[in-house]
Structures are given as structure tokens and as C-alpha cells.
Chains A and B, each alone.
Chain A
Amino acid sequence: MNTTLYTRREWIALAIVAALILIVFPVTMDVFRLNLVGKYLTYAFVAVGLVLCWGHGGILSLGQGIFFGLGGYCMAMFLKLEASSPENTAIQSTPGIPDFMDWNQVTELPFWWVPFKSFPFAAAAVILVPVVFAYVIGAAMFKRRVGGVYFAIITQAIAAILTILIIGQQGYTGGVNGITDLRTLLGWDIRTDSAKFILYFVNAVLLIAVLVLGQMVRMSKFGRLLIAMRDKEDRVRFSGYSVADFKIFIFCLAAAFSAIGGAMFTLQVGFMSPSFVGIVPSIEMVIFAAVGGRLSLFGAVYGALIVNWAKTSFSETFPELWLFAMGGLFIAVVMAFPNGLAGLYRSHVEPFLAKLTRKSPPSPAPDTAPVEAVKLAAE
């Protein structure tokens, strides 16, 4: 029955992910490295959203950077205003406004910045602004039955346009440098080691919450409908469902997850810039999900960690080769391992583990079934 949220195997997977990010990393790493891992994990939020939206629902968005960025910017605007108190900015020609505005001859806080002085408003905006934007995109596209490659291209275009807009409106957005020099959150200095340590845990707990929420969606009838929509959209319509509504919802949910990731990025890394909004980061986020396994929520976490770790090590030595390596990785995953790490784990590691743990009972048949965890829903 579908009353159980996790199978035994998935409980173990959840426990391993939780132990890894809540215990192993904090115990074995110094604050600098832990902060780096925390940054990687903010991308996992996006990848988890993509697992639902793309892996299950078949909606490939190449513009998730939009929502990561919007969430991150909403948080950054609040932090920036707090860092721009009249005392802190006394040397500016207009004290009390963000420094980049002053440099760009802006003499008054733009009206749409004003509400971001309130933390409750900013926190709500972190989720609502990206979700409303996703709703508008989703309603415009899915109601018109735009899907597949066309949808992917349009999301790319929107990501590109948003980047250009942010860079162009330097006086209001901080331009290409983004919003930098963030200091305190409600008076709490987020630049200190102890703050970074705490923020890492806030991020980790939020990520686990998002994983559980994602699992709840996946195991509901909604989750099975996503698979059905991916395979036979027309049939779903003629089973009496408004396909567009379902697509809009899952796209908005993926946007909300991405936005939480973006806001946590801003808090942990201390800035937000257009380089996390555009085409390249958006494609990278799809690669995290693909490498982890596009049907596996946990895989998304490993995908984000491993690819980012590889990126950091690789781009230190051969920065100009990274993009090619990334492209190659994507092609390799899609062509050879369509179910990513999760698929490899299920087909190679798990039967091996089963053999190890169950030596005495007579030949337990190794689980050779394909990765589609979906089938478990029937049990």
C-alpha cells in the first residue's frame, strides 16, 4: 500500500544521506571546507526539484538558475539593506542606501527595494517571488501545450534575459558583481566561523526537509501521475486530469526548492551575483540531477556534491577545460548511464551488498529490476 512513505531500502538511503551531511562532514571538515560543502548542497535543492520536474514529470527546465537566483537575490536584498545602515554608509553621498546604488548616482532607495527592509517580507519573498514567476511561465507555456525541447529553450532564453537585465540595471541590482559585502542577519554576524557552522546545519536540515517533502510528492498519486504524464500525456488528459495544472504545480514546486537553495547560498557564501542565474549555471544544475540519477531524490544530493567537488578540483588546475569536461560528463551520463549514479548503485552495488549480507540463506535473487523506484509505489 502507499501508506508507507519509504521502503526499507529508502530508509537506509535517507539515513545515510542524513548521517553524511549532519555528522560525517561536520566532524571531519574544518569550517572552510564545511562552508564549501554547504555551498555545494545549496545546488542540491535545485537538483531535487529537477528530479521531480524533469526526471519524473518529463519537464526539462534549463532555467532553474532563474529561481535559484531570485531566491538568492531576495535574501541578498534584505542583508544588503541591513548592511547599509546610515552609520555604515556615512561616507556615501547618499548614506543609507546600498553602496552600488551610490556609485551609480542613485540617490534614493527604489520603491521595490523598500519592503525588503522587513525580514518577514524578505523571507516570504524568497519563496513567493520565484514561485509566482514560475507560475507565470508555467501558465503561459503549459496551457498552450508548449513542452519538450521548446520549453527547455524558452527557459534558457528567460535565464539569459534575466541575466542581461540584472547586469544592465547596475544601479538597482549591483550589476555584474552582484550584491556583495553582506554582513549581518538581524544583527547576527554571518561572516564568523560559528555563524558559518550554524548556517551549514540550517541548510542541511532544510535539505533533508525538502527531500522528505519530495518523497511525499513522489509517493502520492501525484507522483504516479507525473510518470504517466511523461510517458502518455494525452492519456492523462483523457483520464480526466488537467495536465497543465499538474505541470504548473510541479514546476512551481521545483522553483520553490531552488529558491530555498539560492537563499541559503547567499547566507553561506555572503553574496549573490548574476553568474548563478544564467544559461551555464542552469545547465550545470541539470547535470547535477543527471549525474545523480534523474529519478533519484538522494542521487540529486550526491550528484551536486560530486560534480561540484570535481569542478572545484578540476577548475583549479585546468580552468579553461572545465566546460568541456562538464559537457563530456553530461553526454556520457545521458548516453551510457541514463539513471546516473543511482542507477549504477542499484544495478551493481546493491546486488553485491545483498550477496555479502545474506550469505547463508539459499541464493537470494539479486534485485535486477530496472531503477524505476516508481513500481514500489504499488506495494
Chain B
Amino acid sequence: MQQTNPASTSKDFLLSVEGLTVSFDGFKAVNDLSFYVDENEIRVIIGPNGAGKTTVLDLICGRTKATAGSIRFRDKELTRMREHEIVHAGVGRKFQNPSIYEDLTVFENLELSFPRGRGVFGALAFKRDAEVVSRVEEIAEMIFLKNQLKTEAAILSHGQKQWLEIGMLLIQSPELLMLDEPVAGMSVSERVKTAELLHRIIQDHSVIVIEHDMKFVQDIAHRVTVMHQGKVLSEGSMDHVQHDPKVIEVYLGH
């Protein structure tokens, strides 16, 4: 598959994924995949179920080890780094199913994600000072949870859990956020608020979003990458990929 991206220009990308391949017992969930993300870009990855979208994020954040290929983030090769080091480098990841600490409060969830005291002894000595409190409150406000700070995360609604997890990423101040289906399971009004939130986020972050909701994609995407069977099927503006016959075939084919 040829690449439909400007790889030849010597521009510095925030994230360059090249020839990425992962094989699960011979099954190539991601197969020689390449794509590039610019600074302050909001990139949406779409594709049918099982296309390998989540697996790509798993590879970038170190949850799954690549069989071949490279993932460069700024000047760092992520394929050789451990998960928490990738986080320290500035990559945050939201999971497809909200992954938060159910037994802790909203405040504690955000506080644990605050980027200080990340070593064993740092965590023992960590003090909840004014800086932490004000940052937690600031983020809580952004994610519409400022009145729920003392609420146990387990009893939040599904949509609120999604927001909380986004907040947990934001407080890490990552350069690149990766969101796996952030509006899945959300009501219409929650979707609108989430789109609003994303628009605020992209002012100073680069974002990769996986999403199925086309209306939502249209609303936020700068560029769209369509994946199919572990490969890039098409890439470009929403308008471009929507009219790409290959994309139409795949989406109508099931």
C-alpha cells in the first residue's frame, strides 16, 4: 500500500509512525502502517470493527510491543521505551472503556495523575499543596466535574467517567493525547459538551481520536485516517475520505 502522506517533505512531525507491524500469533493486526501527526493537529482514525485502531494506540503507548517498524515522538523512539517512560515523554492515553480508579474520589483520581511524586519515595513524600489543589480544580472545571470532586468515581455516569479519564490525561500536561472512542455511550447533550471540550483541548495539544460517530468526526477532525485490516486505506480531509471509492466500498461492504 502506498502512502498518501507528505513523508517526503523534511518537516518535523510530532509523531511519525513508519512501517509499524504487530503480529499476534501470525495474525497481523497492524500491517506496515505509516502515518504522521503534526503539532497541534487533531487526527481522527476511523475504520470498521477490528481494523486495528485500538492496537495502533496500544503500540504507541507501549502497551503492546511492535513486531517491526518505528514510532518516533519528537526525537524519542517509543518502541523501545516502557509505558511510564512514554507517559513522561508526553503521551497520554484514554482507553476504549473508561479506565478510572473506581474506589477513589474524583479529586483523588485527578491528583494521582498529577505529574509530581511519580517515584516510590516521591509518592510517599507527596504533599497535597495549593498548586495541586488548584490544578485539580481547574481541570475538574474543564471536564464538567467541579461539583463532583468528593464523589466516588464508581458512581459517576458513563459519560462522566469518560470525562474524568480525559481529565486524568489533561492534568499530566501531555503534548499528545490519544482518545479511544471518547463519546461512546454518551447522550446527545454529553456529546456536544465533549466536542466543546475537545475544541478547547486542541488549542494546546495534539490529539489522536478514534471514533465511529461520523457527525462527531466531521465536527472535530483536521485530517482523517481510515484503517482497514491493519493498513491505511485512505487519508486526508473528511470530505476527501468520504468520497474515496475504497472507503465507500469497505463501509458499505458490511
Contacts and interface: CB of A to CB of B under 8 A. Distances in A.
B104 A239 contact: no
A221 B126 contact: yes
Contacts of A220: 123-126
B107 A378 contact: yes
Nearest to B128: A2
Contacts of A377: 108
Contact of B92 (A224, A238, A241): A238
Interface string B106-134: 01100111010111100111111000000
A164 B115 CA distance: 47
Contact of B83 (A228, A231, A237, A372): A237
A242 B104 contact: no
B84 A231 contact: no
B84 A378 contact: no
Contacts, number: 96
A240 B104 contact: no
B112 A238 contact: no
A373 to B, nearest CB: 11
17 contacts: A2-B127, A3-B128, A220-B124, A224-B108, A224-B111, A231-B101, A232-B100, A232-B101, A238-B92, A239-B112, A239-B168, A240-B84, A240-B87, A240-B118, A243-B84, A249-B120, A375-B152
Interface of A: 1-3, 217, 220-222, 224-225, 227-228, 231-232, 234-243, 245-246, 249, 372, 374-375, 377-378
Contacts of A222: 120, 123-124, 126
Contacts of A225: 112, 123
A249 B127 CA distance: 20
Contacts of A374: 103-104
A231 B120 contact: no
A239 B113 contact: yes
Closest 6 CB pairs between A and B? Answer: A240-B87, A221-B126, A222-B123, A237-B83, A228-B101, A235-B99
Interface residues of B, number: 37
B182 to A, nearest CB: 15
A227 B41 CA distance: 36
Interface of B: 61, 63, 82-84, 87-88, 92-93, 95, 99-105, 107-108, 111-113, 115, 117-120, 123-128, 150, 152, 168, 172
B125 to A, nearest CB: 8
A242 B120 CA distance: 9
Contact of A245 (B63, B108, B119): B119
A235 to B, nearest CB: 5
A343 to B, nearest CB: 15
A222 B63 CA distance: 23
Contacts of A245: 119-120
Contacts of B104: 224, 227-228, 374-375, 378
A39 to B, nearest CB: 32
B117 to A, nearest CB: 6
Nearest to A228: B101
Nearest to B94: A238
B107 A242 contact: no
A54 B63 CA distance: 25
Contacts of A2: 127-128
A339 to B, nearest CB: 13
A235 B61 contact: no
Nearest to B172: A240
A242 B82 contact: yes
Given A224-B104, A240-B87, A240-B118, 15 more contacts: A2-B128, A220-B123, A221-B126, A225-B112, A228-B112, A232-B99, A232-B101, A234-B99, A236-B112, A238-B87, A239-B168, A239-B172, A245-B120, A374-B104, A378-B105
Contacts of A240: 84, 87-88, 113, 115, 118, 172
B150 A237 contact: no
Contacts of B83: 237-238
A272 to B, nearest CB: 31
Given A241-B84, A245-B119, A1 B128 contact: yes
Contacts of B107: 378
B249 to A, nearest CB: 36
A224 B112 contact: yes
A174 B234 CA distance: 74
B121 to A, nearest CB: 9
A187 B206 CA distance: 71
Contacts of A246: 120, 123
B126 A227 contact: no
A242 B102 CA distance: 20
A227 B124 CA distance: 14
